[in-house]
Amino acid sequence: MRSNNIIDVHAPVAEALAKGRPVVALESTIITHGMPWPRNNEMAGDVEALIREEGAVPATIAVVDGRLKIGLSDQEREKLAQAEDPMKLSRADLAFAIAEGKSGGTTVAATMIAARMAGIAVFATGGIGGVHKGAETSFDISADLDELARTPVIVVSAGPKAILDTEKTLEVLETRGVPVIAYGTDTMPAFWSRNSPYPAPLRLDTAEAIARFQATRTALGIDGGMLIANPVPAEEEIAADVMAGHIATAQRDADEKGISGKDVTPFLLARILELTDGASLVTNIALVKNNARLAARIATALAAE
C-alpha cells in the first residue's frame, strides 16, 4: 500500500510545505480525549488561529475514517471533536486504525511520526507522556520518550505532564540522548505550574537559538527529536504545592479503581479537573496556546535558516 493512498495533506499545509513556509504540527488527543465538546473544538480552532497570527500554518494531525490527516478542515475537526469512542493512537496502533478504517486522536508519538512523514519539523502540544509514578512495578512508560529519541521533530511542550514522575522521565530522556531545553528558565516547568524541583538540562532564550541548535544537530548527523519545556504564563499557573495534593488524590483514586495502561492519563486529568473545579482545564488551554506561539516562532526561525 502506497502512503499517498492513506494520507491526506490539507491544501494550505501542502502549499506551505511546497513553498518552504513555516508549518506547526498539532496533536489531536487533546481534542478526542482532553476535554468535552464543544470546548475541545473551540480550543483547537483558537490554537490554529494563534499559529496563523504568528505567520505559520497549523497542521492538526489525526486519523479520520481510516485516513491519516495532515491538517484538518473546520468540518473535519468538528467531526473529530464529536466522535464517539475514538481511539487514542500511538506508534503501536496508528497503522491499525488506518488499516481498519477507524478514527482517533494522535498522541505525541503518533503526531511526531506523521509530522516527519509530511516534512514538518516543529510540533506544539500541552505536555509529553513519560514515566508514570510506580513505573518500577507497573513498567508504565510512555512511547513518547522513545519517539523523541528516534524521530527528528522539535516538540514544544510545558514539560512532562505533572501527573508523571518528572525525575525519572528526565533520566530516561538523558539515556536516550534527547536534548531537553527549558525556554527562558533554569528549572523544568511542571505543566500546570511554572517550576518543578528539577533543574533544566539545557536553557535557551530565543526561538532563533533553538532553530540554530537544531540546525547544528542536523549538520552533525545527530538523529532524533528535541524537547522544549516552555513554562505556562505566570498569570495562568496553578501553584505546584496545590497541584501536588490534587495529583496525589487522583492517583490514589486511580489505584483504587484499578485504572491502568492508556486509561491512566485520561482518568487522572479528568479527576484533577473535578478536584480543581475546572481550573486545571483553564490552565491547560493557556499553556497549549503559549506553546503554539513559541512553536510558530521556532518554525519561522527554522524556515529562515
Among 201, 228, 226, 206, which residue's Cα sits nearest to residue 216? 226
Q: Do residues 176 and 148 lie in contact, with contact meaning Cβ atoms separated by under 8 Å?
A: yes
Residue given cell 475514517 in the structure block: 65
Among 76, 57, 78, 67, which residue's Cα sits nearest to residue 14? 57
Give the separation between CA 169 and CA 165, rounded to whole angstroms: 6
End-to-end CA gap in the chain: 35
Give the separation between CA 29 and CA 266, rounded to whole angstroms: 10
Alpha-carbon distance values, 278 to 25, 171, 188, 283 (Å): 27, 32, 24, 9
Cell triple for residue 229? Answer: 519545556
Cell triple for residue 177? Answer: 540522548
**Does the annotation count 171 as an active-site position?**
no
Give the separation between CA 296 and CA 123, rounded to whole angstroms: 9
Among 160, 212, 152, 150, which residue's Cα sits nearest to residue 182? 160
Active-site residue among 133, 161, 262, 289?
Answer: 161
**Does the annotation count 236 as an active-site position?**
no
Q: Is 145 helix (H, G, I), strand (E, B) or coil?
A: helix
Q: Active-site residues: which are they?
A: 27, 161
